[in-house]
Amino acid sequence: MTAGPGQLRELLDAFQARFPFDPAMHPADETVVVRSPGRVNLIGEHTDYNDGFVLPLAIDREILLAGRRRQDETVRVFSLNMGDESAFPVNGVAAPAAAGEGKPGPPGGWSRYVEGVVWALREAGFAVGGFDAALVGNIPQGGGLSSSAALEVGVAVLIKELFGLELDPVATARLCQRAENGYVGVQCGIMDQFTVALGRQGHALLLDCRTLEYHYVPLPAQHVRLVVADTGVRRALASSEYNTRRRQCEEGVALLRRHLPDIRALRDVAPHSFEQLRDRLPEVLARRCGHVIYENARVLAAAASLANDNFTACGQLMYASHKSLRDEYEVSCRELDEMVEIARSVPGVYGARMTGAGFGGCVVSLVRADAVDALVAAIEAEYPKRTGKTPAVHVVTPSAGAASLQVIW
């Protein structure tokens, strides 16, 4: 569901009420509005921080931000969803030492992502002053649809517009990743921020997370749709085992390098080479590494399948991905598994898998266009019986990336 005129009007009214124009405080009565989408990853989970391949897309659920420059060095941001305001001085934001060690950064919930973007921009040498901003969104938080990356990229685009920064979408994605790694303390890869910044309407994005080379893969809405079903199970990513999985992959690379000295990351290990060396790794590390190595191959095969409109082949790769995430990487949960099995039982569903880091969140299904209603009905009927939880189901379409909006009001 795209945030419509009603939500935009609500945002602008709240912004004006919370931060009325004051000639003594604001250099001009010029309000910038930015839209920043969520994202769903069709296939390629936990490959991005292993220099691998991913196939995500920006979606038509989003965060809207409105902002105005201030004369001083204070940032004030109000979240309509949270009913909460955060304020901080731009020159007082410093990343804690713990964040650089892969540990959670400072407390503060949603406002940490705003602070982190300001910190990353200033650390990179950009002149960022004070500003007032308000935001509202319809991306489920903690559901694996990258509400945090949408906020980060949206804040970066807002600051770019307010202060006239020379910042292209790729550089924006890199800086927002830096904010999450170095300030928030989540050692994520580049996928989420890159997709939010560079999404294209009607397309998925095949991304090489090492080189940042990418190309767009059409998703023809007349033939196939995407259904995202939220399990209602929330996970705090920074406190989950996400960073543990990353360390395990790094340990696996260090051991494999004894036999394959030229490798830099798991992306460099071919499946046949891995099978020859699997027994040289501790059992847990072998399963973690095996998932990543074979997942990279699945991503490339899925992109090729979509390019040829072979949705059946792509769907089978999605099911294989979920099985690997459940059994080898161990980041699924009962509710995610039940959701996938419900989808599998519906004729016209090509494939389904958990999406996002795991431990809860959402399942994405690739569905024949005329089977969408049947899948939604099956999830709404069966999922509560199996789990006792009420799902939220969203039919999403590939969307454009973050950008400022021309608003007349």
Q: Is 267 helix (H, G, I), strand (E, B) or coil?
A: helix
- In this structure, the answer to whether residues 311 and 212 fall within a common structural domain is no
Cα–Cα distances (Å) from 154 to 51, 66, 118, in that order, read 25, 10, 12
Greater confidence (241 vs 130) lies with 130
At 143 the pLDDT is 67
pLDDT > 50? residue 102: no
- Tell me the pLDDT band of 1, cut-offs 50, 70 and 90: very low
At 26 the pLDDT is 94
Beta bridge partners of residue 118, listed in sequence order: none
Beta bridge partners of residue 33, listed in sequence order: 66, 405
Q: Is 271 exposed, middle or buried (CB count within 10 Å of its CB: 0-12, 13-18, 19+)? A: exposed
pLDDT > 80? residue 241: no
At 408 the pLDDT is 59
- In this structure, the answer to whether residues 206 and 304 fall within a common structural domain is no
- Tell me the pLDDT band of 236, cut-offs 50, 70 and 90: low
- In this structure, the answer to whether residues 174 and 244 fall within a common structural domain is no
At 234 the pLDDT is 80
At 238 the pLDDT is 40
Active centre residues (catalytic)? 192
The mean pLDDT of 292-310, rounded to a whole number, is: 97
- In this structure, the answer to whether residues 57 and 124 fall within a common structural domain is yes
pLDDT > 70? residue 159: yes
- In this structure, the answer to whether residues 271 and 391 fall within a common structural domain is yes
pLDDT > 90? residue 36: yes
At 217 the pLDDT is 97
Q: Do 245 and 288 contact (CB within 8 A), yes or no?
A: yes
139-153 residue pLDDT tens: 877 667 889 999 999
Greater confidence (196 vs 95) lies with 196
For the ranges 17-21, 47-51, 103-107, 363-367, the lowest mean pLDDT is seen at 103-107
- In this structure, the answer to whether residues 214 and 241 fall within a common structural domain is no
Beta strands 84-89 and 214-218 are unpaired
For the ranges 17-26, 45-54, 400-409, the lowest mean pLDDT is seen at 400-409
Closest CA relative to residue 65, chosen from 81, 47, 50: 81
- Tell me the pLDDT band of 108, cut-offs 50, 70 and 90: low
- In this structure, the answer to whether residues 189 and 244 fall within a common structural domain is no
Backbone φ, ψ for residue 169 (5° rounding): -60, -35
- In this structure, the answer to whether residues 301 and 368 fall within a common structural domain is yes
pLDDT > 90? residue 357: no
- In this structure, the answer to whether residues 157 and 293 fall within a common structural domain is no
- In this structure, the answer to whether residues 268 and 170 fall within a common structural domain is no
At 94 the pLDDT is 82
The mean pLDDT of 90-108, rounded to a whole number, is: 62
- In this structure, the answer to whether residues 169 and 266 fall within a common structural domain is no
pLDDT > 50? residue 337: yes
Task: For tokens 């899925």, name the residue.
Answer: 302
Q: Percent of the chain scored above 90 by pLDDT?
A: 84
pLDDT > 70? residue 240: no
Q: What is the CATH number of the domain that holds 350?
A: 3.30.70.890
Count how many domains the chain has.
2
pTM check: above 0.85: yes
* DSSP for residue 168: -
- Tell me the pLDDT band of 315, cut-offs 50, 70 and 90: very high
Q: Domain containing 183: what range? A: 5-218+400-405
pLDDT > 80? residue 364: yes
Q: What is the CATH number of the domain that holds 11?
A: 3.30.230.10
Q: Is 38 helix (H, G, I), strand (E, B) or coil?
A: strand
Supply the mean pLDDT for the chain. 92
pLDDT > 60? residue 298: yes
Backbone φ, ψ for residue 300 (5° rounding): -65, -40
Q: Percent of the chain scored above 70 by pLDDT?
A: 93
With the C-alpha atoms ordered 219, 220, 223, 224, is the resulting torsion angle positive or negative? positive
Torsion of CA 26, 29, 30, 31, to 10 degrees: 90
Q: Do 364 and 358 contact (CB within 8 A), yes or no?
A: no
The mean pLDDT of 371-378, rounded to a whole number, is: 98
- In this structure, the answer to whether residues 212 and 276 fall within a common structural domain is no
The mean pLDDT of 123-135, rounded to a whole number, is: 97
